[in-house]
Amino acid sequence: QDPASSNQAPEKEQVARRLRFASASAMAQSRRVRRSSALPGLAALGALACAALALHGRLATTDFLLPGERAEVPTGPSVGRRAGLLGAGLLGAAVLQPPSSVLALTSEELHAAALFLKAAPGVIGITDASLTKQVSSRAADRAAEHPAVTGSGFVWDGSHIVTNYHVVDDMKSPQVVFITKDANGEDKHSSFAATIVGADPLSDIAVLEVSGDSLILAGLMVPLGRGVSETLLPGQAVFALGNPFGLEHSMSRGVISGLSRTMQSGVPGRPIRGVIQTDASINPGNSGGPLLDSDGNVIGLNSAILSSTGTFSGIGLAIPIDTVKRNVGSMISNGFVSRSSLGVVLAPEYLTEVLGVKNGAMVMKVFPGSPAQQAGVQAMRRGHIGDVIVGMAGKPVTSTADVFNILETSAPGDDLPLQIRRVSADADNDEFEVVSVTVRLGASNSKLVMT
């Protein structure tokens, strides 16, 4: 056996004994320090003092001797640094561990927790009552049956819930689910039937009216405060609440990553503009839930994600609250959102490409009695392509998106000049002729989606 290795064994045991003694001493010291209200400061100062002394060679192996043991190992700056840093680490780790009675929460964390507790009662689950699921309670002696939550929403006023259009679009029997606490602190689910009183696929917003005992609902319907999206800034802190993957009353935190984004609505060729981009985690089930600012006010309606996997990849999209307020008010009053309309259906872009229409928006259908029909606009007919809108209100039109953008800045009753490229009336002439017409815009609604 190598003499060197045999000599190392006692040294290793000696070092181990010293480390155990040092650790026990540090823990005892930490318990004494914990009694002080200046816990964080004393812990940090203690660790820094140990490290500083070690770096100056003031701590040596004698600091880690067992009671009655003599130092037999040479001391010096290098040894002292190693021992002192180890002691500082042990002391710092022990002292900085707060007891169970001390909450390790920063002021920022406390604010976020308070925000959640305030907003959570106003965040509800949305489900289809025709699809039920047996869910067992934590208590072994009882079970509760309620529909599985598939989407989110938030309380708008004393009788209405706001959510996404795509959350309720295919539901046969919409139902809202409130979560409260019972006397034992367990989750209690209260489900109520709901009626869709307004649904707007163009902005992906829907409004539900809740039915049930008015006294019970009065205690459950807790409207959330509403903010302003016009003044939002990138980098601003936001909180997304909802029921991702059915995990009820979840909250994620992030910042506003961008503004004025565009996402596709439920109607082909009709994008939603002014969308908020955030890195707060949004997943399936979050749709329809609120996006809150740091004051707990709703600034957006969580609606979609950009992802190649179907789960969150860092880009979430929310409809701005200014748009939500404007459209929800119209839906509660009228049952729909009123917009300026030509009274036509435009051909999808893939069809215009097949037909060789390179620029403009081709009219595929004209509604009877609509403003477009009264102005003489022609749709596709007998093998001929329809009128191609190439200009509106003095602005060039290269695609259907241009038409929608111009209509969004117009109001029902406005006279809108159109420049149209039309197939020649001469059957032997393949040339197009440019026609100018003026259309007095009508008003469409989200029950009859048309341009």
**Cβ-based burial of 188 (10 A; exposed 0-12, middle 13-18, buried ≥19):** middle
d(CA 157, CA 225): 10
| CA 86 to centroid of chain Cα atoms | 45
183: left (phi over 0), alpha (psi -120 to 50) or beta: alpha
DSSP H helices in 70-181: 77-96, 107-119, 165-168
DSSP H helices in 125-192: 165-168
- Residue type (1 letter), 12: K
Q: 10 Å Cβ neighbour count for 121?
A: 17
The helix or strand, by DSSP H or E, that contains position 39, with its residue range, turns out to be: helix 39-55
- Residue type (1 letter), 21: F
Residues acting as catalytic residues: 166, 204, 287
d(CA 221, CA 239): 21
d(CA 157, CA 363): 41
Residue 315: partners with Cβ closer than 8 Å, 6 or more residues away = 257, 277, 279, 305, 306, 307
Q: Is 364 helix (H, G, I), strand (E, B) or coil?
A: strand
Residue 147: partners with Cβ closer than 8 Å, 6 or more residues away = 127, 128, 129, 131, 132, 133, 175, 177, 191
- Residue type (1 letter), 341: S
Beta strand ranges found along 99-186 (DSSP E)? 123-128, 132-136, 143-147, 151-155, 160-163, 174-181
